[in-house]
Amino acid sequence: MNADDKVELMKEHFSLSRHLLLIVAFALASVPVVHASLPAPPPPAGMVDLVLGKSYAATPLVPIKYSFAPMEVGLQFPGGLTDGRIASSTNYNDRQWQQYIRGGMRSIIVDMGRVNTVHRMQERFLQDIPHGIDFPREVIYSLSMDGKHWAVVGTVKSAISLTVTKPTVQTYTLSGLNYQARYVKMTFVVDVFTLADEFQVFGNNGVVDGATVPGMTPPPVYPDKYCPPGSPEVGGTRNMVLITNGYYRKDPAIEKNSVDQLLPYVGYISSSGKIKDFMFDAFLFSAFGAAPSGGQYGADIKKPTVLSDWQYYIDNTFLPDYNVSALNIATGKVKKALGKPSYRSKVEIAIPYPTPSAKYFGKVKGKSINMEKLSGRESVIRWYVDQVLRRWKEGHYSNLKLVGLYWISEKAAFTIDDSETALIRYVGNYVRSKGLVLDWIPFINAEGFYEWHSLGFDGAEMQPNYSFHNYPVRELGEAAETCKMLGMGIEIEIHWDALKNDALLEKYYQYLNWGIKKGYMTGAAHSYYQNAGPGTFYQCCYSKNPRIREVYDKTYDFIKGTYTETNVH
């Protein structure tokens, strides 16, 4: 396989590239175009806008100083949310739209300077799906007397579908209030881009009309602890390596992982060729991306998969002597060499994304499936899970343990279907009913990442994506802080060109180095992203170049918790 084919192969699997390239392109294109703004809506009779002209602070849910915050530079201007003006158009380049990127949420806090009476709170937002701009799924309004203890006084959810692609404006209004407060807060979801133009708080100066102080609301409590290695939430996995399989049109041999190719993943093989120890304890089989029909196994509304694609992936995963079968044989060889007869490699298998735009998906158990309906997508999930379990049982894989299934979409696709949350929760419940866990590996700050548990996943490991983007190295620490805050594991990523590019190889070592600095080497469950067919770590294992072989040895040290800080020599 030549270099161009390898890049194409990895791009098929690396769905993140589409999302972050969109962000970069949008940010670079967003040199503000000045339009004539309009006056903001006037206060109701007898009220004033209590935050007009006031300064405010905007705080993300998770740290983004080294990732997305630099992209926001020039996309906001001081006072833009309280200057009494709104955008005059639905053009995202309209200067009045204040633009926020990723970070989960933003909290906008205003000190009104005195205790006032609040009757109504509102904010306007823009949606333009083709440009990655969606309405907040919800806006939370809160009040406080001291700026420290807050009372949530209402939550307003989007009244317009997030699947509407035409540029649209919506105002999130919370009325009927009669509360005292000095500080006001608006917290809104930022899935990709969120554009807002004017935060308004209507009421009266001072305390009038018998206004009361609202009762305080306990703040959200986050785990502040990595998902521990070996925990039930991730099916007992500690270090899970991604093994790509499925469909690759240019070279079908790449679809098949053989016993010899998988052996150095199961066992740690010395430079002299001896099996010295176990290596990765868990294996995630996941599709490259493209499917035989031309669809995408991930969430792509324009390229849905059909039933024959799903069947192809199942058949490929359970090919005799390859993939899962090969892993079973390889594990048998390693545990025999090490004298560990009871050992079993843990396995997770990907679930393709059931895209609702597949109008002619196919027949399941003789019935045509309408993928536009949630019930149709649920029936496909049941069929797929049952097929995987049947094939697993028929395989008699005595050296393996199926511990979970993996949601292949690296984001929660809220803009593809309004039932996305219900779908994921259904999948989680069905998978758990079979005694398995539902695992997820979202890209950095992907849609829904901070809600991973409430969405229905048992475990999740977030991708820092440092290897693939021009972030400063401290972004790795930032990503680790997010994973710890949210109770996630973390993905370790090596670029497909790392073995021939010192700068990219150095990036890989930084993942390991920061694992020491931030405690995730021994404190968190890991997944590992690498090249396909037969993979970067395989190449490192058998390389005669000491510099490349060292990558395999250092990865083993990291897995065992004995790694010491390393840099490219």
- Please give the torsion angle defined by the CA atoms of residues 435, 437, 438 and 440, in that order, rounded to the nearest 10 degrees: -170
462: three-class secondary structure by DSSP:
strand
Give residue 57's identity as a one-letter amino acid code: A
Q: Is 549 exposed, middle or buried (0-12, 13-18, 19+ CB in 10 A)?
A: middle
Q: What is the CATH number of domain 33-204?
A: 2.60.120.260
Distances (CA, A) of 120 to 156, 175, 178, 489: 12, 4, 8, 41
Residue 463 has what DSSP assignment? -
Domain with CATH 3.20.20.80 in the chain: 236-560
Residue 33 has what DSSP assignment? B
Tokens standing for residue 344: 């079993």
Tokens standing for residue 458: 């048992």
**Number of C-alpha atoms within 13 angstroms, CB side, residue 14?**
22
Pair 92, 30: CB distance under 8 Å = yes
Superfamily of domain 236-560: Glycosidases (3.20.20.80)
**Can you spell out the DSSP letters for 88-123?**
SSS-TTBTT-EEEESSEEEEEEEEEEEEEEEEEEEE
Reference 508, options 484, 460, 461, 540; nearest CA is 540
* pLDDT of the residue at 13: 47
* Residue with the two structure tokens 């899962």: 324
* Residue with the two structure tokens 């060109």: 497
Give dist(CA 379, CA 237) in Å, integer: 29
Backbone angles phi, psi at 540, to 5 degrees: -65, -40
* pLDDT of the residue at 563: 98
E strands, 32-84, where?
A: 38-39, 48-49, 56-60
Tokens standing for residue 58: 């905007």
Distances (CA, A) of 60 to 63, 302, 354, 478: 7, 32, 32, 13
Give dist(CA 356, CA 379) in Å, integer: 13
Helix %, strand %, coil % for the chain, to 5? 30, 25, 45
Q: Hey, how many other C-beta atoms are within 10 angstroms of the C-beta on 124?
A: 22
Q: Hey, how many other C-beta atoms are within 10 angstroms of the C-beta on 308?
A: 14
E strands, 175-320, where?
A: 179-190, 193-204, 239-245, 267-269, 275-278, 282-287
Backbone angles phi, psi at 25, to 5 degrees: -60, -40
Q: Hey, how many other C-beta atoms are within 10 angstroms of the C-beta on 217?
A: 14
pTM of the model: 0.93
Beta bridge partners of 33: 94
Domain with CATH 2.60.120.260 in the chain: 33-204
Backbone angles phi, psi at 201, to 5 degrees: -125, 110
Q: Is 148 exposed, middle or buried (0-12, 13-18, 19+ CB in 10 A)?
A: exposed
Give dist(CA 535, CA 538) in Å, integer: 5
Tokens standing for residue 295: 């669809």
Pair 75, 23: CB distance under 8 Å = no
Q: pLDDT tens, position by position, for the chain (569 residues)?
A: 333 344 444 444 444 443 444 444 444 444 555 567 899 999 999 999 999 999 999 999 999 999 999 999 888 888 899 999 999 999 999 989 999 999 999 999 999 999 999 999 999 999 999 999 999 999 999 999 999 999 999 999 999 999 999 999 999 999 999 999 999 999 999 999 999 999 999 999 999 989 999 999 999 999 999 999 999 999 999 999 999 999 998 888 899 999 999 999 999 999 999 999 999 999 999 999 999 999 999 999 999 999 999 999 999 999 999 999 999 999 999 999 999 999 999 999 999 999 999 989 999 989 999 999 999 999 999 999 999 999 999 999 999 999 999 999 999 999 999 999 999 999 999 999 999 999 999 999 999 999 999 999 999 999 999 999 999 999 999 999 999 999 999 999 999 999 999 999 999 999 999 999 999 999 999 999 998 889 999 999 999 999 999 999 999 999 999 999 998 86
Q: Could you tell me how many residues make up the chain?
A: 569
